[in-house]
Amino acid sequence: MAPLMTVAEAKARILDGVQPLAGESISIYEANGRVLAEGLSANLTQPPFDASAMDGYAVRAADVAATPVSLKVIGASAAGHGFAGKVGPGEAVRIFTGAPLPEGANTIVIQEDTRPEPPDGVTILAGSPEGRHIRRRGFDFLEGHVALEAGIRLSGRHLMLAAAMNHPTVPVRRKPVMALLANGDELVPPGETPKASQIVSSIPAGLKAAIETWGGEATVLDIAKDTRESIAAQVDAAPDADVLVTIGGASVGEHDLVRGTLEAKGARFEVLKAAMRPGKPVMSGYLGARKVLNLPGNPASAMICAQLYLKPLIAALLGLPTDEQVRELPLAHPIGANGEREHFMRAIASGGTVAPLPDQDSSLMSAFARANCLLVRPVNAPSLPAGALVPVISLDF
């Protein structure tokens, strides 16, 4: 029997050859959370002119070198309504935040340092050196400058910048489309009353939410019966999916028909048995251009394998980094030694420490729902006391 591979090796094989999906252009108002497919450069310069950063008066610095001094107010410059004239010796222009700096002026005196002298004068009470309170043209960015790099997940901050750069649309990676196929005569959809020996199919609901959190789209196919014909019909119902995610039914039992059905349709597979728990066998391959990934049928096993394998697969299709974010936290309580398989324990991180849940059975969904992280125990890890640092992966679905 071939030795079990590590989780890292299984992940590397699943991602081997996966290329980012093509880009598409969408409205800037619909792009939150999407991945930028190419660098975005500014279509204009911001600010487009020298602008005032404060309310006050635009003056010549030389005229206010000695104060107090009285100046003649020759007009006003407001945002959207600049002053068309020129500031000369002994003159000032009333100016407001964001307004263009008038020609001839080279500094701003804030209004707190002035005293109006009606009808058309102002007394400057404190001087202002050249350039004070002025936002120079291009202070934020220049036309042609690439201010947003490809590969970032767009947030409100990024989209505000893209809008300021005058982009009504942005190029983003197409969302990976996942088709989720559960199978088995024992399964019924949520809301239906199970008959004797039946249970409710729960994994697709969790997977769909996780996939959408990770940046993909998911379609839940009808539950396939334990026949090759039923499984094949559901596979054919999702011809345009980028990834077919099958749940359970991939081993060699009499009722485990998924692999044989897909191979009869031309699929090619590699069964990846990783030294991990929960979960061990994962099937990865292709059906035509579609990637196929089979997850275990136990709920915790399926969702943990999704975190470790499906999440980085989605990231690869989006052109994002595929490394899992691992941090270290001190144990809240002592923990026993681990065995020959890497153990991903459902755990709760709270108050700066982490503690595994008391029951780690892979069928328990109520316990899994309470967990907020996975405590990773390496192969043959020794027992550890409270306070020892352990690697932790946050559950983000």
Check which CATH number belongs to the domain holding 33 and give it.
3.90.105.10
Per the structure block, which two tokens stand in for 150? 């490809």
Query: Do 180 and 268 reside in the same domain of the chain?
Result: yes
Report pLDDT for 248. 85
Note whether residue 281 is domain-resident: yes
What is the share, in percent, of the chain residues with pLDDT greater than 70?
Answer: 97
Counting the structural domains of the chain, the total is: 4
Residue 3's pLDDT band, with cuts at 50, 70 and 90, is: confident
What is the share, in percent, of the chain residues with pLDDT greater than 90?
Answer: 91
Report pLDDT for 270. 86
Last residue of a domain, one of 317, 352, 375: 317
- Per residue in 242-283, pLDDT tens? 999 999 865 555 546 898 899 999 999 887 889 999 988 888
Last residue of a domain, one of 287, 317, 347: 317
Note whether residue 2 is domain-resident: no
Query: Do 101 and 205 reside in the same domain of the chain?
Result: no
Query: Do 205 and 129 reside in the same domain of the chain?
Result: no
Q: Give the helix ranges, DSSP H, for the chain.
A: 7-15, 156-164, 203-213, 228-236, 258-264, 299-305, 311-317, 365-370
Query: Do 185 and 295 reside in the same domain of the chain?
Result: yes
Report pLDDT for 273. 87
Note whether residue 15 is domain-resident: yes
Say what the pTM is: 0.89
Query: Do 125 and 196 reside in the same domain of the chain?
Result: no
Distance CA 223, CA 245 (A): 13
Report pLDDT for 250. 54
Last residue of a domain, one of 286, 317, 348: 317
Report pLDDT for 309. 97
Count of other CB atoms within 10 angstroms of residue 248: 23
Count of other CB atoms within 10 angstroms of residue 44: 13
- Per residue in 139-189, pLDDT tens? 999 999 999 999 999 999 999 999 999 999 999 999 999 999 999 999 999
Query: Do 228 and 289 reside in the same domain of the chain?
Result: yes
The Cα-based distances of 287 to 145, 207, 240, 374, 387 in angstroms read 43, 21, 11, 32, 48
CATH number at residue 250: 3.40.980.10
Query: Do 96 and 59 reside in the same domain of the chain?
Result: yes
Whether 2 has a pLDDT exceeding 90, the answer reads: no
CB distance 166 to 208 below 8 Å:
no
Whether 127 has a pLDDT exceeding 80, the answer reads: yes
Q: Which domain holds residue 58?
A: 51-135
Query: Do 280 and 338 reside in the same domain of the chain?
Result: no
What mean pLDDT comes out for the span 330-355?
97
Note whether residue 207 is domain-resident: yes
What mean pLDDT comes out for the span 217-226?
96
Q: What is the average pLDDT value for the chain, to the nearest integer?
A: 95
CATH number at residue 341: 2.40.340.10
Whether 285 has a pLDDT exceeding 60, the answer reads: yes
Report pLDDT for 281. 83
Query: Do 191 and 286 reside in the same domain of the chain?
Result: yes
Query: Do 114 and 235 reside in the same domain of the chain?
Result: no
What mean pLDDT comes out for the span 327-341?
97
- Mention every residue, 6+ apart, whose C-beta is less than 8 A from residue 380: 337, 338, 339, 340
What mean pLDDT comes out for the span 47-73?
98
Note whether residue 96 is domain-resident: yes
Whether 104 has a pLDDT exceeding 90, the answer reads: yes
Burial class, 65, CB count within 10 angstroms (exposed 0-12 / middle 13-18 / buried 19+):
exposed
CB distance 274 to 10 below 8 Å:
yes
Query: Do 219 and 357 reside in the same domain of the chain?
Result: no
Per the structure block, which two tokens stand in for 186? 């024992």
Note whether residue 1 is domain-resident: no
Note whether residue 258 is domain-resident: yes
Query: Do 30 and 64 reside in the same domain of the chain?
Result: no
Lowest mean pLDDT among 104-118, 189-203, 262-276: 262-276
CATH number at residue 100: 2.170.190.11
Report pLDDT for 251. 56
